[in-house]
Amino acid sequence: MRIVHVVGVRPNFIKIAPIVEALEQYSGVEQVLVHTGQHFDSSMSRVFFDELAIRTPMVNLKTGAPGDESETGRIVAALDGAFDELRPECVVVVGDVNSTLAGALVAAKKQIPCAHVEAGLRSFDRSMPEEINRIVTDHLADLLLTPSEDADQNLLAEGISHDSIHRVGNVVVDTLLQNLHRAKQRPIVDSLGFREGRYAVATLHRPSNVDRAEVLERLCDTLGWIQEQIPLVLPLHPRTRQRLENFSLFERLTSMEGLRLTEPMGYLDFLALTASSRLVLTDSGGLQEETTMLGIPCLTLRGSTERPVTVSLGTNTIVGLDPTAIRNAVSEVLRGDGKTGTVPPLWDGMASRRAARVIVEFLDQDLATKG
C-alpha cells in the first residue's frame, strides 16, 4: 500500500510530519514524500524535514520559480511523471497551496484516491488564490479530513457527500504539542536580546499585503509605531524581503531601533519565539492556530480568515489593514486585555492518528473492492 504525500512549502511539512509518523504504525504501508520544490532552500524547507525527523524517502521535483502564473502548470506536469513512476495507491495533499491543488488534480485524472488534510476551510474571499485552491481540491478529493465543525458545514453546503467528510482535528496542533518542550529549550529568545513576554512577533508574506507598494508602506509605518510600544521581531519571508527592497522600504525598517529583522527561521526556533511572546501580528493561517494553542493573542492582518474557530473560541482577532484598528488592538493587548481563548474540540494531539486510521481503512476497503 504505497501512499505519496505531496508537499511544496514550509507549512506543509508541519502538517504532514505527524501523519507520516502515524501511518508508520501500520504494517504494509509504504510512504514517499514528493516535494514540488516551491521552498527548497535550507531555511525554508530542508530544516523542517530535519527538525521534524521525517524519515520517509523524499523525491524533489525542483519545479522552481515560485509564485509566477505558470507555477501550478509546472507542478502538474512534474507530478504527472512522478505518479507514473511511483504508482501510488493513494495521494495525500495538505493545506491550500499550488502543490495541494496540483496533487489533487493529477490524482483525479489518474483515478488515484486522494485525501485532503485540512479540508473544508473557507475564507469566502475568492480574491485569495488559496481560496480557489481549497475549493477545487475539496471537490476533487475522495477523503476530506477536516479540523473543525465549520469545515464540515462548509463542505456539506457545497453539496459534498457526508460519507467523504471525516472530522479528525487539527494536525498542526499535533506537531506543536510534540515539539513544544524541545522548542522551549532553544536559545533563540535570549540570542535576540528579548525577555519572555516582553516582545511581539510579526510575519508578512501574503501577496495582497506585500505585492502592492502602498499597502506594504502603510504596514511598515504601522510596524514602526508598534516597535515604539514593544520590541518587535520580523522574520523575513523571501518574498517580503524582495518586495521591501523593490519598493525602497527595506532601509526604513532596518533604521527602526525597536525592530529586529531576521532571516526565515526553522520550526523549533520560531515556535520558541512565538511561545514566549506577548502578542503576534500575522497574515498566516497556521499562526492563527498555533497562537490559539499557546494562549498568545493574535492579530490577523487580513479582512477575513478561513479559520473562524480561532476567532470564536481562540485568541485570534481579525484587524485587517487599517492602521487605527491595528494600533487599538495592540494597545488593548498591551493593557492586559488581549483575548485568552479556549482550545477548540479535537485539538488534542491525536488528529494525525485519526487521519491515518481513516486513510488506511478507506484504502483497505478500496483495494478489497478492486481485488
Count how many domains the chain has.
2
Q: Which residues span the domain enclosing 45? A: 2-170+347-370
Residues 134 and 263 in one domain: no
Phi-psi region of 208 (alpha: psi -120 to 50; beta: other; left: phi over 0): alpha
Strands lying side by side in the sheet with 143-146: 58-60, 30-35, 2-7, 90-94, 114-117, 143-146, 165-167
Check whether residue 299 and residue 243 sit in a common domain: yes
Same domain (yes/no): 250, 224: yes
**Which residue type does 135 have?**
I
**pLDDT digit string, tens, across residues 249-274:** 999 999 999 999 999 998 999 999 99
The single residue of 39, 116, 166, 205 carrying the catalytic annotation is: 205
Nearest to 266 by CA among 42, 54, 56, 40: 42
> Quick one: CA dihedral 273, 276, 282, 285, positive or negative?
positive
Nearest to 170 by CA among 200, 150, 189: 150
Whether residue 205 lies in the annotated active site: yes
Looking at the fold, whether 217 and 331 belong to one and the same domain comes out as yes
- Three-state secondary structure string covering 127-140: CCHHHHHHHHHHHH
Interval 146-203: pLDDT, tens:
999 999 999 999 999 999 999 999 999 999 999 999 999 999 999 999 999 999 999 9
Q: Are residues 21 and 100 in the same domain?
A: yes
The answer to whether residues 274 and 189 belong to one domain is yes
| 137 plus 248 within the same structural domain | no
Q: Pairing relation of β-strands 114-117 and 200-203?
A: unpaired
* 152 and 211 share one domain: no
Q: What was the pLDDT predicted at 154?
A: 98
Tell me: do 246 and 314 sit in the same domain.
yes
Give pLDDT tens digits along the chain (371 positions). 999 999 988 889 999 999 999 999 999 999 999 999 765 555 556 677 788 888 777 888 877 655 566 889 999 999 999 999 999 999 999 999 999 999 999 999 999 999 999 999 999 999 999 999 999 999 999 999 999 999 999 999 999 999 999 999 999 999 999 999 999 999 999 999 999 999 999 999 999 999 999 999 999 999 999 999 999 999 999 889 999 999 999 999 999 999 999 999 989 999 999 999 999 999 999 999 999 999 999 999 999 999 999 999 999 999 999 999 999 999 999 999 989 899 999 999 999 999 999 999 999 987 667 66
We report the CATH number of the domain holding residue 331 as: 3.40.50.2000
